[in-house]
Structure 1
Amino acid sequence: GRERRDATTTTRGERGVVERWMAKKRDVHERHSGRGTIQVSMAFEIISTKAKGSAGVEARLAELENTATGANAQTHRISQQEYVTRLHRLNEDIANAWLAEDRVNALKLCVKVAKLLGDTKVGKFYPVLFVLVTEVIETVGRLVYDRILRKSEESTSEGGTKALPEDFKASRVRTVAKNTCRNWFYKIATIRDIVPRIYMELALFKCYRFIQDEPPTVQIRRLMKMSRGVADPLAAAYVRMYIAKCALAYGCETEDSAMTLEILKEFMPSYVNVLDETADEDPATAYIFRLGLRRTEYSELMDPAMEWLIECCATNPNPSLLHKVLYMGGETPPVPFLRAVFRSLSPTVVRENALKLVALVGATSTDEDSLEHRDAMADCYRTLVDKFDVIAPNEGDRLAILGDVWRVVQKWTHVEPYLRVAERFLLYVIKYLAQGELETLMKDVARHVHAHLAQAKEREPTKSAELPAEAMRCVERALRVVTDQFRDVDYLVSLKWYVYLGEILGGEAKVKFSAALLKCGSSAGSISDPMCLHTLLEAARTVHDDIDGMSSEESRAEAESLVVDFINNVSFAGDFEAHLNFLVTARSAFANLDMAQEILVYHAISLMTSVYERVGVEHTNKTKAFVNACTAYCQITIPSVRGVNVRLQLFMLTAQAAIVHGLIQQVDGLIRSAVTDAQESGGETAVGGWIDLPTDRAGAEMLDFVRRCSALLVVQPGNLEKGAFLVFRGLMKVVEDFDWEPSSADEVRAYVSLIPMITAMAQETIPFKIDGLQSNDVLFAGEEAYVEEATELAHELIQRATDLAGNESSLADDDGEDDQAETTHKSRAREFARVNLELAEVIAMTCKPSPEMLALAAGVVDRARRLLPPDVVDPVAAYVHQLLDDASMDVDVDAPRARE
């Protein structure tokens, strides 16, 4: 229950440094991690891989000693991710070895790891390597601190121990703990190589608290002098970075940041020499060439160290400190130096010195600047504007900042750095300036893009000129910012520069821009302006064309949503022909999106309905031709929709819309197409067939189709040549051949639903009429063969329904193997019992009263009586008896009739 402080216990100042250090390490990982390979020595291979059949750390060290000769000379390559994984595992191995009392070997292995920072052959991976290695040595530093802290605990009179207070003095530390502490520093001092010796001592720096009360300033200065012996500029930069971090964390820094400034002052000559193209004789040049890097690339590897040093200085609000830092860069500081400075400055310091900092970047510009130089300048400008996004510049400086930057940038002929600056300053202009400045900025962007494309075309006339990929992405992001800002499609497409920049995009950039534009159009509501409609149609086409067989379901769903919203928002203000022409164009434009094809059919049906509302059945040649065209459009489009249930629904809706216009032949074709589709969509090979639906849903959808189709057949005239009931028989065949779920009563219900329809068709006058349409009651009036065929079909349907309902009801007598199975059987049987009641009611309503019909209906009711309560069955039985018990009848008992 005693309290104990360990290496994780820190002071407030130390915690602040730790937080900033963690942020810097994350930044280094993000900027310098990659997917390439790294050349590693055999020594690293040994220490980072567990030896077979060994005890771990000790065995690896022994193997390293045995192969010491030439171990560093032998090299091979591994992936960066593998390198990271091994170092993380090595960190765990060292900690486990320490906890297993193998402390000496753990320290030795840690020294070997620290030695990796003395070799910069890993090139662009070195900043990440620095982060990984310092994490390993800091682990050992914490373990050493904890061990000494435990030895420092005072004994109590009760025989226990008492922990040191947080602000303990060295005089309170037990002698044995002090000796242990000094012993660790002696061990570190014996390390021969300078780089691991410096890093290991810094890792143990917190332990100086056990042997002295004052901060380890003397030791920091000693290490600063030692760091001058590191010849490699890159390795030296990170040594100084770590020294500065420890100086700040352990109270060695003064209020005026004198120590960090001193470290920075020692750092700057090597940094400047790295950037100096004329310094071929400088020793640093050999290290640069050895890695095969350009000077600017090498300096970027040193940037994290430079930025940390400047950041440590920038915590001091004294304005003179910024002047001192900038002075170290010379009269015209190098742009990479300025970039490192700007990244490290706080937004407050940037705001107070905005115009001065902008001027420093501009002063480095010449007409002969290389692409690398302008890329670095672009980085500087982007960094500054990012700071302005956090804290707004002074109001009086805002326009001047843009003017000073653009006087330099607008002269650039390299389009990529130009667009990188323009993209970031676009947000600045929107946030802090007026619309006039936005127009000016984007017109200048369009001018630069046009000039670049014209030059590219002039160089290679046979090729299509386009922007580089990164420049394309900059334009796309800029256009999306503008789109999100205004949210007014009509206004945006009226801007010539906006339309032009959107048209020059290609690939993924164009898809992203098009999606953003469609979202904007969706939020705007109705789309009627021709220019706006054309632009959004092209955007929707782009989004559609990006979808293929390899696209994810999420991508397809998003594309469908955007395209469907666009189609729904299009308005032609009553110009039906223009609307239909749009639907024709859209059908071919969005052929790969099922939902779009479905919505297009709905819109065509809506046009037919709108014409009916306007003219009724009083058609002119023009309106008749138009509804004919709409019907043909639907009939052509529907087969391309995936999903048989959707197709059947669309066929029926189209037929219903067409029949009121008197389009008899077209309706006949639609119904036939639907029946054929329902028949041919069975089987496992059918595309978009019934097998794609869950079995229970497929049955429900088929039942719904049978009801809709049969109702339509009541008013639709039959075929005079092939028979009045040709299509009806086809529908019965569909019901017969469909693969119904055995446990479902849907098949019985399908037959039951057909009975009222066929009996209605046999009446002298059908129950409902459509104006101007001659149905079968007129076409086949007085024909006995017509009535006989209808009667025959009615009896056949009643027989099928009766047989199916009766067979299934017997399932109630089967006992299940367990309670759940028995419950399922009973539930299914009750469902069939309810269907029997439905069948009895239909028989009673549609057939002439007769003893035979009464007996049949009563028998069907009796099936249900065994399974359903009397309060459900008795009312139906009474209704059936009332309708069918007619002793005074004098007509054929077998002839079905329709009762209203």
Structure 2
Amino acid sequence: MEFRPRNYTSEEESHSLPRAPADTHPLSPPSPSLLQVDVVDHGKNEFYDPLRGSDANVMVSLDDLQDEYKSSAVNEADFELPTKGWTSFKKFLMQRFSGSKMVSISPMSDVIMKSGQVREKASTTMHLEELDDPQKFAEDGIKVISQQVYVSRLHELKDEINRAWQANDRVTSLALAIKVARLLMDTSVLQFYPTLFVLATDVMDMVGEMVWQRIKQKAEFSEDGNVICSLPENFEAKDICIDAKETCSNWFFKIGSIRELLPRIYLELAILPCWRFLVDCPVDVVQRLVMMTRGIADPLASAYCRLYIAHCAQKLPQQYSETGYLIICINDIKNLLTRFLSAEESTDENFAERSKSLISLMEPTIEYIVKCIINDSNQTRAPNILVELGIGMKQTQLVGKLPCISIILHHFLKELPSELVSSNAMEIFQLIECSKDYSFDQCLNYRLLGFRISESRSQFDIINAVVDKVIEVASEYNTLDEFLKVVEAYIDIILQNQMDNKLNMIMDGIVKRACNEGIAENELISLQSIFLKLLAHFNNLEDIFTLSHFIEILDMMHGSARSMVNMHILNMATRKGRIHDPTIVQFLFEVSQSLHDVLDHSNMKNDDSQQPARLISRFVNMVDYGPELERHLAFLLECRAAFGGINDLKETLVHSSNRLAVKAMKDGENHASFVKSCIAFSEVTIPSVPSCVKQLNLYLETVEVALLGGLVSHSDGLLDSAILCLQNMDQMDDLRLPSDVDGILSLMRKLCSLLVLVPGNPQQGVTHVLRNMLALISSQSWVSSRTRTRLLCTILSLAAALSQFELPYHGNPELVLGNDRLFFGDPTYLQELLSLSASTLQNLVDNIMQEPSLVARGRMALEACNCIASSFNLSPEVLPFVSKLMETAKSCLSSNDKYLQSTIKFVDKFSSE
């Protein structure tokens, strides 16, 4: 048995394809264009990839964490008038005001009462905390009902009305609908009223739809079912027959005879579209109903009645739409609110609190009506609305006029077109300044103004004047929370217009208030938003350092807000390339420490922990101290101590240490002690990596570095550690996906390729590592028959390579002698390789014969034949193995198999030689 001699140089030349220099890069565009990347030689020998050429023009944007008008009551994305918006609006009402669990029963609620549902309230200890007015309901004898029972009863009433209608009992349907409408007169439990409104108006809408369909049917069909006409969508009153008009008029007469004002208005609104059967301009009817609501004494009931007017008017055709009645509604609500706001100066605290509760309940009605006023079909009226609010009028003209209420101003400001807001920014600011009432937090209106201005371009002089005034107002706030709410909205405007002095004033104001009071959780959210905007605006970390008080404020932050800012700082610092400045390195190290300290180290697989960990690892990897190698290694030592909870970082540290060692070797100076320090650092760090597969990869990488530096003894120790790591695979890793096994197979092949460079150890034997690998292959449960075949073939190829007079490749010849020189002409060396190969060859054939799958066995046999023919002369000792494997392959595979045919030719070629 003898190894086949190989001349690797001539084999490489004979198998290499002919090469010719290319005039253009193969990845470049076929013709010059704007996308063509001009390659500029800066004296560097680094590979230039044209696909990276466009990266220079790509800005990495940060997440936009701008507060989307937190004072908004309804999400605008869900608000589309009229149908979808009304549905989502009703859901919002029921979700927002769902606090009351018990509801009082008044005389007007007799339709709700059933036997067993209502009980006498015998003591003050029964659910008083769930009632709106504890003092009132403390009296014995007041009847209460649970909200759940109340809602269920309303659903039953709706079904009863529907059943009566289907049975042609219109009188019963109307009578029950009137009783439901009467419920809206009861506002004794304030928090329940919005829910009551939603349920009652659902009944009203159903009744209105049934009446509409009834009259429409009379207009289109006669009593005997014959078709009279088919009404178009835009029909007129003249198209309606007399019978249908009489029926329609009868319904309005019945509703007009209802004694109570509120039920009469609601039911006429429910059938409001039916006026189209009688008149061509039903908007006049709407105006009348708006005036009638002024007769409703209860402010909450009157506000929600106006809300229902706005909803029902949306059902009219667009050509009849006119917003004058809505302006009247808003002005009437403004007059109502003015009475409550006088409680600010009242000594009656209960009245003041009740007023605030009423304003909160009335806010959704204001918002919906304002949205109806300023919708897409009525944008042309927006300038007129400004006049209604007092914007554009001279201050002398406003004297004696009713000031705008803050909560109404807020919702108009939220809905007005952004261009209109920007062009009238100063006037709106003055209006906010005059609206000093507690219906809405004034600082939120200043805040909203800033966000609206930033939506469109404005003249610099207008912006500058507004920002000056806003900072002046904000400086009067003593609390950090109010100060931040206002200035946060203007940060983007200040940065875009380069108002550096105003930015410094804001930072000074933050420091002053934070030092006095500290930073609360709600303030951290605003502060986080401001810092993220600053980081998004500036390109370099050096520019951030020049900002007044930036680091000082950052040190005062804590919690998730501090972590978010830290992550953006790391992202900003590491996306620009290598980090060289020691001051910036130290700052980022402290930022990373702060981020590391709040990580959940018990669950590092969590997404919330993975991103910060990746950023810290990237920062460590990007640090570069240049020629100060010792300082860089000391930095890696600090990182290992400070960030021990991040497993991925340990890999980064080993890669960085090995890179430092290679860099030291390339300097041309004697850095032997430093290289040893780097290798030692890697040796100590690798065992702390939890994954055996990753450990193995790191050991092999460090072996390469050690061999490059001529540290043979270190490489021997690292190889032993790598083998030990392989032996621990079964105990530490649950094996395993096929891709994992393939990865380990690749690493073991890499280990064999490294052994070509490693000098054999005469004391332990030159095949010491290979014998350990053979033992491992036989003992590990994760090694499949297919994997074992490949590994045995790899060992045979390695033994054949080591037997050559000249190895296929060498390490540093000045520091490490290859086996071809170390054991040149030594017969025991060659004999040891042959002895190992003989046992390996037998194991290989036995393993293949035990494979149960015929196709797999045939493929494995062919792979082994190619390996044997490449490694050995086909002597009488080897030929039986080859013949047996070829027979196995032929019996397991089709005779037309291309792999089989090429292997037969390959083996025949060497057999003839």
Q: TM-score, normalised on structure 1?
A: 0.77
Range with bigger deviation, 399-408 or 69-78: 69-78
Q: Is the 8 A contact 1:766 1:777 kept in 2?
A: yes
CA distance in structure 1 between the partners assigned to 2:154 and 2:778 by the alignment: 68
Alignment of 1:256-271 (within 5 A): 259-271=325-337
Aligned residue among 567, 570, 577 for 1:525:
577
- What is aligned with 1:354? 425
Letter in 1 for 2:789: V
CA distance in structure 1 between the partners assigned to 2:722 and 2:822 by the alignment: 24
The reply on whether 1:379 has 2:379 as its aligned counterpart is no
- What is aligned with 1:5? none
- What is aligned with 2:35? none
Q: Is the 8 A contact 2:789 2:847 kept in 1?
A: yes
Q: Quickly say closer, same or farther: Cα 1:834–1:855, change in 2 above 3 A.
A: closer
Aligned residue among 215, 240, 243 for 1:148:
215
- What is aligned with 2:858? 830
Give unpaired runs (5+ residues) of structure 2: 1-78, 122-141, 375-380
Range with bigger deviation, 508-517 or 111-120: 111-120
CA distance in structure 1 between the partners assigned to 2:458 and 2:231 by the alignment: 50
Aligned residue among 28, 38, 41 for 2:100:
38
| Structure 1 position 800, deviation (Å) | 0.4
Aligned residue among 726, 729, 746 for 1:704:
746
Deviations 1:81-134 (A, max 9, x none): x999x8998899689758955875766666666555444466567557645654
Q: Quickly say closer, same or farther: Cα 1:134–1:860, change in 2 above 3 A.
A: same
Range with bigger deviation, 96-105 or 567-576: 96-105
- What is aligned with 1:11? none
CA distance in structure 1 between the partners assigned to 2:157 and 2:524 by the alignment: 43
| Structure 1 position 561, deviation (Å) | 4.6
| Structure 1 position 69, deviation (Å) | 7.7
- What is aligned with 1:653? 701
| Structure 1 position 249, deviation (Å) | 6.3
Instruction: Describe the SS at the equivalent of 2:100.
Output: strand
Q: Quickly say closer, same or farther: Cα 1:252–1:603, change in 2 above 3 A.
A: closer
| Structure 1 position 633, deviation (Å) | 2.4
- What is aligned with 1:857? 882
- What is aligned with 2:365? 305
CA distance in structure 1 between the partners assigned to 2:213 and 2:605 by the alignment: 52
Aligned residue among 679, 686, 711 for 1:638:
686
- What is aligned with 2:288? 221
The reply on whether 1:773 has 2:838 as its aligned counterpart is no
Alignment of 1:790-869 (within 5 A): 790-808=833-851, 811-812=853-854, 826=855, 828-842=856-870, 845-846=871-872, 850-866=875-891, 867=893, 869=895
Aligned residue among 582, 596, 601 for 2:635:
582
- What is aligned with 1:664? 712
Alignment of 1:117-132 (within 5 A): 117-120=184-187, 123=190, 130=197
Q: Quickly say closer, same or farther: Cα 1:604–1:252, change in 2 above 3 A.
A: closer
- What is aligned with 1:57? none
CA distance in structure 1 between the partners assigned to 2:802 and 2:639 by the alignment: 41
Letter in 2 for 1:303: E
Q: Is the 8 A contact 1:154 1:164 kept in 2?
A: no
Alignment of 1:54-203 (within 5 A): 64=114, 67=117, 73-76=143-146, 114=181, 117-120=184-187, 123=190, 130=197, 133-154=200-221, 159-185=226-252, 188=255, 194-203=261-270
- What is aligned with 2:556? 504
The reply on whether 1:398 has 2:463 as its aligned counterpart is yes
CA distance in structure 1 between the partners assigned to 2:306 and 2:763 by the alignment: 100
Alignment of 1:265-414 (within 5 A): 265-277=331-343, 293=353, 295-307=355-367, 315=381, 317-318=383-384, 320-323=387-390, 333=404, 335-343=406-414, 345-363=416-434, 376-414=441-479
- What is aligned with 2:516? 455
Q: Is the 8 A contact 1:836 1:864 kept in 2?
A: no
CA distance in structure 1 between the partners assigned to 2:456 and 2:584 by the alignment: 38
| Structure 1 position 658, deviation (Å) | 1.1
Give unpaired runs (5+ residues) of structure 1: 1-16, 48-59, 457-465, 813-825, 887-900
Q: Is the 8 A contact 2:661 2:678 kept in 1?
A: yes
- What is aligned with 1:10? none
Letter in 1 for 2:103: S
Letter in 2 for 1:38: S
Letter in 2 for 1:755: L
- What is aligned with 1:573? 626
Q: Is the 8 A contact 1:679 1:734 kept in 2?
A: yes
Letter in 2 for 1:385: G
Letter in 2 for 1:804: N
Q: Quickly say closer, same or farther: Cα 1:542–1:96, change in 2 above 3 A.
A: farther
Q: Quickly say closer, same or farther: Cα 1:740–1:218, change in 2 above 3 A.
A: closer
| Structure 1 position 341, deviation (Å) | 4.8
- What is aligned with 2:659? 606
Q: Is the 8 A contact 1:39 1:77 kept in 2?
A: yes
Q: Is the 8 A contact 2:570 2:615 kept in 1?
A: yes
Aligned residue among 732, 736, 755 for 2:796:
755
CA distance in structure 2 between the partners assigned to 1:477 and 1:68 by the alignment: 52
| Structure 1 position 19, deviation (Å) | 2.4
CA distance in structure 2 between the partners assigned to 1:479 and 1:90 by the alignment: 55
CA distance in structure 2 between the partners assigned to 1:397 and 1:594 by the alignment: 54
| Structure 1 position 355, deviation (Å) | 1.9
Q: Percent identity among equivalent residues?
A: 23
Q: Quickly say closer, same or farther: Cα 1:190–1:506, change in 2 above 3 A.
A: farther
Q: Quickly say closer, same or farther: Cα 1:428–1:99, change in 2 above 3 A.
A: farther
CA distance in structure 2 between the partners assigned to 1:32 and 1:238 by the alignment: 14
Q: Quickly say closer, same or farther: Cα 1:28–1:405, change in 2 above 3 A.
A: farther
Letter in 1 for 2:291: M
| Structure 1 position 529, deviation (Å) | 2.5
Deviations 1:721-771 (A, max 9, x none): 5554443322212211222465x5221111121123235556677555432
CA distance in structure 2 between the partners assigned to 1:83 and 1:455 by the alignment: 51
| Structure 1 position 171, deviation (Å) | 4.7
Letter in 1 for 2:513: H
Q: Give the number of the structure with larger relative contact order, counting CA–CA contacts within 8 Å between residues 6 or more apart.
A: 2
| Structure 1 position 182, deviation (Å) | 4.0
Q: Quickly say closer, same or farther: Cα 1:557–1:702, change in 2 above 3 A.
A: same
Q: Quickly say closer, same or farther: Cα 1:98–1:357, change in 2 above 3 A.
A: farther
| Structure 1 position 655, deviation (Å) | 0.6
CA distance in structure 2 between the partners assigned to 1:132 and 1:392 by the alignment: 45
Deviations 1:406-445 (A, max 9, x none): 22211211111110111101122234x3x1x2x3333233
- What is aligned with 2:481? 416
CA distance in structure 1 between the partners assigned to 2:167 and 2:539 by the alignment: 67
Q: Is the 8 A contact 1:518 1:562 kept in 2?
A: yes
CA distance in structure 2 between the partners assigned to 1:238 and 1:271 by the alignment: 14
Q: Quickly say closer, same or farther: Cα 1:856–1:262, change in 2 above 3 A.
A: closer
Deviations 1:302-325 (A, max 9, x none): 233345556667736336433399
Q: Is the 8 A contact 1:261 1:313 kept in 2?
A: yes
Q: Is the 8 A contact 1:378 1:420 kept in 2?
A: yes
Q: Is the 8 A contact 1:358 1:401 kept in 2?
A: yes
Range with bigger deviation, 721-730 or 18-27: 18-27
- What is aligned with 1:440? 501
Aligned residue among 71, 81, 84 for 1:19:
81
CA distance in structure 1 between the partners assigned to 2:411 and 2:399 by the alignment: 13
CA distance in structure 1 between the partners assigned to 2:286 and 2:909 by the alignment: 113
CA distance in structure 1 between the partners assigned to 2:766 and 2:310 by the alignment: 98
